């Protein structure tokens, strides 16, 4: 017996506004100005949007959040938008998105075998060591999952499963590294967090892991901390450095504004370091030494220690 095809579910303009995050009036303006989206109409003339247009609109919204202009991207198809929005970082590019280990991990995620995925990643990190595991596996795998989501190959809930699994794994690794080294009084003292507009925390955990290996004393506030609270926490914790993480969904303007405002409020009390997929867009507008990637954390810590050893003499 042939299974009848599932009916296509169309979304109203209110559904699109709620699910994608683009205002109704903006959708109407884009429709008139750029010819996209191209909704169907019901018997009452109300707009109805097919699923493929919601996917494309979601990708457009993601790129707008990164600082792109509508006129530059709305004419792109889904594959072009996905490629542009993913922007793999150096670690992803170095390993390759077609790497066998990364593909095997994504296959386990799509099969919802989260326990097996966790075990596979844990074993790989034990074999590689925490530093290589973060730089050569965790970072590229995180980028690959983001790209798979952008291409529609991984569902939103699957990306959330991956994120929760990896956060638990990384916290255990950080705890083990901290206990083994026993550096509660070590310097520099690093306060890690994200600004209110940034809800992604995996980059923060990767940075904390590598800083812990460098025997820095790390204090994490988690994600989405107001700037005033960051300043208060930096003073309370006697932080030498405030480390911020920005994913690719944060616009360059937001990164620049937040970093510069935080530098102004902290003054000479603490340095501000920024990392993550989003900071490359803002690098040339920030002070030298502000922007780091995972591979430059050891050098940055060594530089800080050398400078402060000189000052202490």
Return d(Cα 260, Cα 138) in angstroms, integer: 29
User: What does the chain come to in residues?
Assistant: 313
pLDDT of 193: 97
Q: Which of 106, 131, 146 lies closest to 206 in space, CA to CA?
A: 131
pLDDT of 184: 55
Question: What's the mean pLDDT in 92-120?
Answer: 83
**What are the residue ranges spanned by the domains of the chain?**
11-85, 90-179, 182-312
pLDDT interval class at 251 (50, 70, 90) = confident
Does residue 274 sit in helix, strand or coil? Answer: strand
214 vs 180, more confident: 214
233 vs 310, more confident: 233
Return d(Cα 172, Cα 164) in angstroms, integer: 13
pLDDT of 197: 87
pLDDT of 252: 86
pLDDT interval class at 180 (50, 70, 90) = low
Contact in structure between 209 and 244 (CB atoms under 8 Å)? no
**Exposure letters 212-227 (e unless 16+ CB within 10 A, then b):** bbbbbbbbbbebebeb
261 vs 54, more confident: 261
Does residue 12 sit in helix, strand or coil? Answer: strand
Q: Which of 188, 190, 212, 192 lies closest to 201 in space, CA to CA?
A: 192
Return d(Cα 276, Cα 208) in angstroms, integer: 13
pLDDT of 208: 95
Q: Which of 298, 121, 277, 289 lies closest to 212 in space, CA to CA?
A: 298
pLDDT of 5: 52
Token pair 């810590």 is found at: 301
Return d(Cα 138, Cα 122) in angstroms, integer: 10
Does residue 250 sit in helix, strand or coil? Answer: coil
Cα dihedral 234→235→239→243 (10° resolution):
20
Is the predicted pLDDT of residue 94 greater than 60, yes or no? no
Is the predicted pLDDT of residue 286 greater than 80, yes or no? yes
Instruction: Kindly tell me the number of DSSP H helices and DSSP E strands found in the chain.
Output: 15, 7
Domain 11-85 has CATH 1.10.1660.10: yes
Kindly report which listed range (73-77, 204-208, 271-275) carries the lowest average pLDDT score: 73-77
Is the predicted pLDDT of residue 3 greater than 70, yes or no? no
pLDDT interval class at 210 (50, 70, 90) = very high
- 119-153 pLDDT, tens digit each: 999 999 888 888 889 998 999 999 889 888 877 88
pLDDT of 93: 43
Decide if 90-179 and 182-312 have a common fold: no
Contact in structure between 139 and 92 (CB atoms under 8 Å)? yes
CATH of region 90-179: 1.10.1240.10
Strand ranges (E), the chain: 11-12, 40-41, 47-49, 189-193, 217-220, 241-245, 271-275
Paired tokens of 305: 């220690």
Alpha-carbon distance values, 297 to 214, 233, 302 (Å):
8, 22, 9
254 vs 311, more confident: 254
Is the predicted pLDDT of residue 6 greater than 90, yes or no? no
Backbone dihedral angles phi then psi of residue 243, each to the nearest 5 degrees:
-105, 125
pLDDT of 179: 72
**Exposure letters 171-207 (e unless 16+ CB within 10 A, then b):** eebbeebbeeeeeeeebbbbbbbbbeebebbbbbbbb
Is the predicted pLDDT of residue 67 greater than 70, yes or no? no
pLDDT of 115: 96
Question: What's the mean pLDDT in 69-96?
Answer: 68
Question: What's the mean pLDDT in 290-308?
Answer: 88
Put the strands of the sheet holding 189-193 in their side by side order: 217-220, 189-193, 241-245, 271-275
pLDDT of 292: 92
Is the predicted pLDDT of residue 300 greater than 80, yes or no? yes
CB neighbours (10 Å) of residue 286?
17
pLDDT of 85: 65
Domain 182-312 has CATH 3.40.50.280: yes
Q: What is the mean pLDDT of the chain?
A: 86
Return d(Cα 117, Cα 121) in angstroms, integer: 6
pLDDT of 84: 72
pLDDT of 241: 97
pLDDT of 223: 94
């Amino acid at each position: 017996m042939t299974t009848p095809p599932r009916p296509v579910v169309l979304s109203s303009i209110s559904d699109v506004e709620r699910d994608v995050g683009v205002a109704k009036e903006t959708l109407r303006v884009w429709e008139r100005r750029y010819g996209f989206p191209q909704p169907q109409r019901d018997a009452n003339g109300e707009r109805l949007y097919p699923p493929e247009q919601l996917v494309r609109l979601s990708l457009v919204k993601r790129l707008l959040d990164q600082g792109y202009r509508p006129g530059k991207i709305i004419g792109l198809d889904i594959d072009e938008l996905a490629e542009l929005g993913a922007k793999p970082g150096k670690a992803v590019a170095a390993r390759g998105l077609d790497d066998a280990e990364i593909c095997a991990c994504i296959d386990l995620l799509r099969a919802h075998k989260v326990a097996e995925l966790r075990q596979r990643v844990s074993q790989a990190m034990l074999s590689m060591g925490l530093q290589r595991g973060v730089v050569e596996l965790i970072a590229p795998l995180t980028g690959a999952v983001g790209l798979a989501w952008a291409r529609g190959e991984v569902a939103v809930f699957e990306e959330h499963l991956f994120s929760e699994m990896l956060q638990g794994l990384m916290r255990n690794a950080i705890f083990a590294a901290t206990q083994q080294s026993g550096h509660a009084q070590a310097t520099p003292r690093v306060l890690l967090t994200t600004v209110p507009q940034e809800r992604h925390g995996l980059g923060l955990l990767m940075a904390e892991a590598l800083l812990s290996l460098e025997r820095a004393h790390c204090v994490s506030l988690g994600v989405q901390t107001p700037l005033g609270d960051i300043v208060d926490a930096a003073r309370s914790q006697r932080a030498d450095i405030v480390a911020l993480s920005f994913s690719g969904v944060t616009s360059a303007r937001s990164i620049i504004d937040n970093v510069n405002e935080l530098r102004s409020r902290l003054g000479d009390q603490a340095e501000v370091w920024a990392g993550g997929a989003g900071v490359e867009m803002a690098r040339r507008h920030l002070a030298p030494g502000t922007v780091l990637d995972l591979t430059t954390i050891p050098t940055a810590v060594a530089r800080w220690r050398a400078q402060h050893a000189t000052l202490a003499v």
